[in-house]
Chains A and B, each alone.
Chain A
Amino acid sequence: MENNAESTEKKESRSDNGSGALNDMTLLFPAKAENESFARVVVSAFLVRRNPTLEEVGDVKTAVSEAVTNAIVHGYRGASGDVTLYACVADDLFIVEVRDNGVGIADVEKAMKPFYTDKPDEERSGMGFTVMQTFMDEVSVESEVGVGTRVTMKKRLKYANGI
């Protein structure tokens, strides 16, 4: 893949014995804007095997796009670094995590407020977290200044089935 992006499905054995109830994936890619669409495509491909609605695919793609953009724009501020996309599905529960090892967020509560942006000159709307919260059932953010940020998002799928 471009930019050495690599996808690895975890190999360790599962208690569900491969029945398809639980599945997960990890994708590591450089913090480059062109990889935002790549992350969306990968998470869609992973999710689509669980029979999501078109709306659910759109919701997840958009939320992931926001989190990955935040990692690139705010986490790394244009500097190089890696973004990790982890996704996991167990029955009808879909969980996706976007992690970076960037500058971190000093005040998570403030950062999550609608229209808040630390880059007002760049026409950023400040709606990234609001979009994530609108399109996913649950969004949590763990961050430490100088260490990085982890955004975890959950969504219940309407018609989830096995693979």
Chain B
Amino acid sequence: MLDNVRQKDTLIVSISGELDHYAAPKIRAELDEVLQDKSIRKLCLDLKAMSFMDSSGIGVLMGRYKLLNRRGGEIYVKNMNSHVRRIFDMSGLRQIVGVQE
């Protein structure tokens, strides 16, 4: 489900498939496992291959933001489609999760 690339202190994770309440626990667990490496300061989520996201995804992103924020790190996304963009804007995720255009 996740594909990772490490670049210095940044971990780029590609999420594929659907991020709903069913998939969220697995994606959350996989992210938290790779984030155990404390040298990771920035988490970039590539959403290009993510076909669907609902509010369960908001919870996953907010949770990872908190985790990284505690170690002075940050989280951002790239390749966001218009649908996910609306969820970002509506939920206030935009204020805490960066967007790489």
Residues of A with Cβ closer than 8 Å to B? 33-34, 36-37, 40, 55, 58, 61-62, 65-66, 69, 72-73, 122-125, 127-128, 130-131, 134-135
Contacts and interface: CB of A to CB of B under 8 A. Distances in A.
B99 interface: no
Q: Which interface class (under 10, 10 to 19, 20 to 34, 35 or more) fits B?
A: 20 to 34
B16 to A, nearest CB: 14
Chain B binding surface, main DSSP class: helix
Contacts of B63: 123
A127 B21 CA distance: 13
B28 interface: yes
Interface in B53-82: 54-56, 58-60, 62-63, 82
B59 A124 contact: yes
Interface of B: 18, 20-22, 24, 28, 52, 54-56, 58-60, 62-63, 82-83, 86-87, 90-91
B62 A131 contact: no
A127 B43 CA distance: 23
Contact of B90 (A61, A72, A73, A131): A131
A82 to B, nearest CB: 17
A69 B87 contact: no
A125 B59 contact: yes
Nearest to B18: A37
12 contacts: A33-B22, A34-B22, A36-B21, A36-B22, A37-B18, A66-B54, A123-B24, A123-B28, A127-B90, A130-B55, A131-B55, A135-B86
A54 B16 CA distance: 20
A69 B21 contact: yes
A61 B19 CA distance: 13
Given A128-B55, A134-B90, A123 B60 contact: yes
A130 B54 CA distance: 11
A92 to B, nearest CB: 22
Given A37-B20, A122-B59, 5 more contacts: A33-B21, A55-B82, A123-B63, A130-B55, A134-B90
Contacts of B58: 125, 127
A66 B24 CA distance: 13
Nearest to A58: B83
Nearest to B81: A58
B22 A37 contact: yes
A126 B51 CA distance: 22
A134 B22 contact: no
